[in-house]
Amino acid sequence: MKIFMDTADVDEIVGMVELGIVYGVTTNPSLIAKSGRTQAEVIPEICKLVTGPVSAEVISTECAGMVREARQLAQIADNIVVKIPCIAEGLKAVRILSAEGIKTNVTLVFSLSQAILAANAGASYVSPFIGRLDDIGEDGVQLVANMVKIFKQYGLKTEIIAASIRNLDHVNQVMLAGAQIATIPTNVLEQMLLHPLTDKGLEKFLQDYKNSL
């Protein structure tokens, strides 16, 4: 499973890129707002930091506007992926952009039926939001598992980005479900590296080394 960072904070991305664990990045208008900078400032910087896909989201809600924004975003770098909301106008835009070779990530996907429509429209990626489904008492991980099964069954090339990840269990479960990608917030990514037995074991090794001198 490839690891993407779900953030628009350039400093956070730099820190994780140094560890060699981040392939791509996803952003959205809320994450851009949280960064305190504009999309025009942040996205070109992020595209230089990672070699893999960088998702930048459109603001328009009608097809022509989305296509216009997507074409502009695609000029920024070769690794841009345009995030398009899973609405009817969005799928129309995905079809046009896919024919032009512009990569898309259909976002705000909450059901298997939305996912199959996005894949059929030609989406390069689809993003099921698992945390937000859990928030309303549904099972986000199960949606990812079902999507993996169905996409495989029909030989669909669209890749699944498990999104809206809130904790380590989400990461482990989407990995087991076979998601190609998980986009992970920095705090969860930091937790992934930690285990108390690693710290305890290292402390003991170093103590035994000192005692042996």
For ligand E4P, the closer CB: 34 or 195: 34
Asked if 12 touches ligand E4P (CB under 6 A), the answer is: no
Rounded to whole angstroms, the Cα distance separating 123 from 160 reads: 10
Single out the residue of 154, 183, 83, 175 nearest to residue 123, CA to CA: 83
Stretch binding ligand E4P (CB under 6 A), from 26-34, 46-54, 61-69, 169-177:
26-34
> How many residues lie near ligand E4P (CB under 6 A)?
12
Q: Which of residues 97-116 bind ligand E4P (CB under 6 A)?
A: 107
Asked if 35 touches ligand E4P (CB under 6 A), the answer is: no
Pairing verdict, β 125-128 and 159-162: parallel
Report the residue from 2, 92, 95, 132 that binds ligand E4P according to the rule CB under 6 A.
Answer: 132
Asked if 39 touches ligand E4P (CB under 6 A), the answer is: no
Asked if 129 touches ligand E4P (CB under 6 A), the answer is: yes
For ligand E4P, the closer CB: 31 or 46: 31
Written in H, E and C, the secondary structure of the chain is CEEEEECCCHHHHHHHHHCCCCCEEECCHHHHHHHCCCHHHHHHHHHHHCCCCEEEECCCCCHHHHHHHHHHHHHHCCCEEEEEECCHHHHHHHHHHHHCCCCEEEEEECCHHHHHHHHHHCCCEEEEEHHHHHHCCCCHHHHHHHHHHHHHHCCCCCEEEEECCCCHHHHHHHHHHCCCEEEECHHHHHHHHCCHHHHHHHHHHHHHHHHCC
Q: How far is the CB of 124 from ligand E4P (least distance, A)?
A: 14
Terminal Cα distance for the chain, rounded = 43
Report the residue from 70, 118, 183, 189 that binds ligand E4P according to the rule CB under 6 A.
Answer: 183
Stretch binding ligand E4P (CB under 6 A), from 25-33, 66-74, 94-102, 187-195:
25-33
Asked if 37 touches ligand E4P (CB under 6 A), the answer is: no
Q: How far is the CB of 159 from ligand E4P (least distance, A)?
A: 13
Instruction: Decide if 2 is catalytic.
Output: no
Q: How far is the CB of 131 from ligand E4P (least distance, A)?
A: 5
Single out the residue of 104, 64, 68 nearest to residue 85, CA to CA: 104
For ligand E4P, the closer CB: 49 or 197: 49
Q: In the complex, which residues of this chain contact ligand E4P (CB under 6 A)? A: 6, 26, 28, 31, 107, 127, 129, 131-132, 163-164, 183
